[in-house]
Chains A and B, each alone.
Chain A
Amino acid sequence: MLTNQLNSKLIALLEGIFGKERVKTSKEELISYSYDGFIKECLPEAVVFPLETEEIGQLVKLANEHRFYLTSRGSGTNLCGSSVPKKGGVVVCFTKMEKILEINTADRYAVVQAGKILEDLQKDLEGTGLFYPIDLGSSRIATIGGAVALNSGGMRALKYGVTRDYILGLKVVLPDGQVIKTGVLTKKNVVGYDLNSLFCGSEGTLGIVTEVTVKLMIKPKNTKVLLNHYQDIGNACTAVNEIMASGIIPTALELADNLVINAVEEYVKIGLKKDAAAFLLIELTGDKEQVERDSKVIEAICKKNNPSRFEISKSAEESEKLWLARKSGFGSMARYKPVCIAEDVTVPVSRLAETITLIHELAKKHGVLQGLLAHAGDGNLHPHFLLDSKEEENKADAIMDELMPFITGIGGTISGEHGVGIGKKKFLHYQLEKSQLDLMRRIKKLFDPEGVLNPGSFLD
């Protein structure tokens, strides 16, 4: 905190903006906003719940004037600690700012407030034939504002891309209190710097996004899911590469390793093959003919690579049943040990097999239980380290310290979709040279000279 303590005079000023009801200062309230989906916690000194962009404008001016920190937050489901108030100050919680402002079916876009929950947005779109294609593991509760801050990817990124690809415009409160509206309603736009892309993924360091205009897509009507078990992880990875080279773009191409298979089977008992090295789950969507045609090609590729079991869904219910194998992955693993750390390295897809092998070797070497879930088509790997206590975190770090140089050496990234926050900060130097990081710091300084927004982020 710049001033180190929010005194009662400042609290009164906050109450002047938000009203008494929407300013929280009790210990219990502060504890409730000291965490997100990451392990580390930091206490804020106050929490405010904006309803309007104007309120945030006033808040930011106040923060500059009285020198206190602001950290914005949605539902608090991110996995890197980016919404934790690392240096105290005020948490700006968007959960009450969740209106849908416009759905335009003619030009296929929607304007929503930052606190809108992704699943609720999908529900609002029901009956329009449209959908917002980004589907996160946490879509049930994650907010669009959080997804923009972290440029979330998720399950369907293979076909549809990531959050950044669906932002047409943003309403942003800049760190000096000015409100700007970025973007246009068209996909093509080459006028000036692409500010949408700059704010998206900036982890709340450059401005506070209050409204998002998202592009919508036509919802595909048909789905087919294939689930293949492989006794050899190399075969599974070859299948992935051949699928990616086939010209067919699956909506999802997911991989789970043996530990995940066993965890899921133990928990949900759906008859997975427990001795398999991995399963591949492939989802195809589109019109009926397209899905039928594509599934034949994919089926041939999968079978060519010697699956020990091959399944394909014949109905929507069957598709859902097969998805259970993948969707239960995290929860099933989570019950193995008290602590579960999810990593997020991403590699070019041709390097998938060797990367997975290396992860397995390193986990074994350091004596850590590891279960791997991967958005294999994207080369996005989520090794989950299952630990007995938080004190064992250093073991996971040791693995990552050995893994990271390899990942960045082959052109991969230390984080594909979770973000840096405080979780991956220690690995940042593996990927960003000082000159690049310095440039980012200068950008930050330009936007936020007083350093009011999200202090303690990856830039510090």
Chain B
Amino acid sequence: MKETAKIADSCLKCGFCLNACPVYKELREEIVSPRGKLRQIKAFTAGELPSDKIIRKVLKNCLMCGSCFKNCPSSLATPHAIQKLREELFGKYGHDFIKRGMKYVLSNNKTRALSALWARIVYNNFRDSLPFDLPAGALTVKNMPLLAQPLKAVDFKNNGNKKVFYFAGCVDKYVFGDTGRCAARVLDKLGYDVMISEDEKCCGIPLIISGDIKAVKKNAEANIELLTRQYYDYIVFTCPTCLTAFKEKYYDIFKEDGVFKNKLAELEPKLIEITGLIAKEKKLPQLLGAAGVKVTYHDPCHMVNSLDTVKEPREIIKALPGVEYVEMNPELAASCCGSGGFYHVYFPETALKLGLKKVKNIKKTGAEIVLTACPACKLQIAGSLKRAGSDVKTMHIIELLDRYLK
């Protein structure tokens, strides 16, 4: 608690975070701004608030995008302070029913696979025959994608190539399985020996950001065990948020567990986001055929604010022969799409506004395809485009590469 109070107390109140915060920019109310949140955290820790009812809601109203941190002159760890207080409040209130369900589904690979199977059968068969539409977070059921075949395990060929463990994450495994398969194919073509495992568990981010770090400990341990069991040259992610779980959140979980903390630190240099890895590949352009499409790119928040991977995706896109690349203009490209973990479920109105704003910026570029590097962004942007009646396609960069592999 002392740590949170210290962060809150260090705020100089300059207000530079306000225009960086997607939620503030939409609502224009100080109470939800990063500066306002810190000030309320300070009041809360000092016992000055009548109850925790409002601050709970205020703290929930955060996309955890990290751009307040990125734009703070003193680099205050505001997202961390918000996270810590969420953890404290979670200790008191526990999960709501949505997250209780998620906890059940995500804590165990069997329930996760079964839920995905069930969703695929029911949803895929009935979505288009539904006589009415239903809201689904910021989107509607009819604007959600059909679930692809899940990604299957792949073993090393042991062909002497560099060994890559591909950590697909829940969405690219069960919703956008095709993205996962594209990633595997592209990595293979680039000369990596790729492994995908059945034993990979949910990274736990959806529960962590609700303050439940305890529930994630088991999954985190299993993931670290899995990744240290044998030698890998790289552990590659197509979901930047899963990667931030390893790079940031897990350290918090194992703060007092020296063994796992050390294992995690050993893993760290091998953890890499897929565009970060591929951008290093000099031979990439030679593997690709002429694309002849006009594309733009949306920066996922965690790519910008946590992983600092901004140049690499653009380098890859430009490596595609014949591609016409149009920037949304860097700042608009990095403005949040409104997905933010489960933000869009709790604050559908704001999330929808952010989504539609993104659509407007995409349309302005005249691109046929909007590329991104995060499955959650892809879901939100594709849904928002569909909702706005646009036929612009949304793809993970890796899918476009796969499409034009020679």
Contact = CB atoms under 8 A, between A and B. Distances in A.
Interface of A: 24, 26-29, 31-38, 49, 75-77, 93, 95-96, 98, 115, 117, 119, 138, 140-141, 330-332, 334-335, 338, 340
Interface in B12-39: 12-16, 18-20, 28-31, 33, 36, 39
14 contacts: A34-B39, A36-B15, A37-B13, A49-B28, A76-B15, A77-B14, A93-B30, A95-B28, A117-B19, A119-B19, A138-B14, A141-B15, A141-B16, A331-B72
A18 to B, nearest CB: 13
A31 B36 CA distance: 8
A32 B40 contact: yes
B54 A26 contact: yes
A35 B13 contact: yes
B101 interface: no
Contacts of A49: 28-29
B293 interface: no
B9 A75 contact: no
A138 B15 contact: yes
Given A31-B39, A31-B40, A98-B28, 14 more contacts: A24-B31, A27-B54, A28-B43, A28-B58, A31-B43, A32-B39, A32-B40, A37-B14, A77-B15, A95-B29, A119-B19, A140-B19, A330-B14, A334-B73
B28 A96 contact: yes
A49 B40 CA distance: 20
Interface of B: 9-10, 12-16, 18-20, 28-31, 33, 36, 39-40, 43, 48-50, 54-55, 58, 72-75
B73 A331 contact: yes
A383 to B, nearest CB: 16
A323 B44 CA distance: 39
A117 B24 CA distance: 13
Given A31-B43, A37-B15, A119-B19, A335 B55 contact: no
A75 B15 CA distance: 8
A291 B13 CA distance: 38
A139 to B, nearest CB: 9
A75 B16 CA distance: 10
Given A32-B30, A32-B31, A32-B36, A338 B19 contact: no
B62 to A, nearest CB: 15
B318 to A, nearest CB: 18
A375 to B, nearest CB: 18
Contact of B49 (A28, A34, A117): A28
Contacts of B58: 28
Contacts of B74: 331, 334-335
Contacts of B20: 140
B43 A141 contact: no
Nearest to A28: B54
Nearest to B73: A331
Nearest to A330: B73
Residue among B30, B39, B48, B49 facing the most chain A CB atoms (10 A cut-off): B30
A222 B73 CA distance: 28
A389 B16 CA distance: 22
Contacts of B40: 28, 31-32
Nearest to A93: B30
B9 A338 contact: yes
B146 to A, nearest CB: 38
A26 B32 CA distance: 13
B68 to A, nearest CB: 12
B72 to A, nearest CB: 8
Contacts of B39: 31-32, 34-35
Q: Which 8 A-B pairs have the closest CB atoms?
A: A331-B73, A95-B28, A32-B30, A77-B15, A32-B36, A141-B19, A32-B31, A28-B54
A140 B13 contact: no
Contacts of A138: 14-16
A138 B39 CA distance: 20
A31 B10 CA distance: 17
A173 B137 CA distance: 42
A218 to B, nearest CB: 22
A193 B354 CA distance: 46
A32 B43 CA distance: 10
A26 B10 CA distance: 24
A31 B42 CA distance: 10
A136 B16 CA distance: 12
Nearest to A340: B12
Contact of A76 (B30, B72, B75): B30
Nearest to A267: B75
Contacts of B12: 37, 334, 340
Nearest to B18: A141
A36 B36 CA distance: 10
Contact of A338 (B10, B48, B50): B10
A93 B31 CA distance: 12
A117 B40 CA distance: 24
Contacts of A35: 13, 39
B339 to A, nearest CB: 24
A428 B16 CA distance: 29
B3 to A, nearest CB: 15
Nearest to A94: B28
A139 B101 CA distance: 45
B15 A28 contact: no
Contacts of B16: 138, 140-141
B211 to A, nearest CB: 19
Contacts of A31: 39-40, 43, 48-49
Nearest to A97: B28
A334 B29 CA distance: 25
Given A37-B14, A338-B9, A340-B12, A27 B19 contact: no
A73 to B, nearest CB: 9
Contacts of B28: 49, 95-96, 98, 115
Contacts of A98: 28
A99 to B, nearest CB: 12
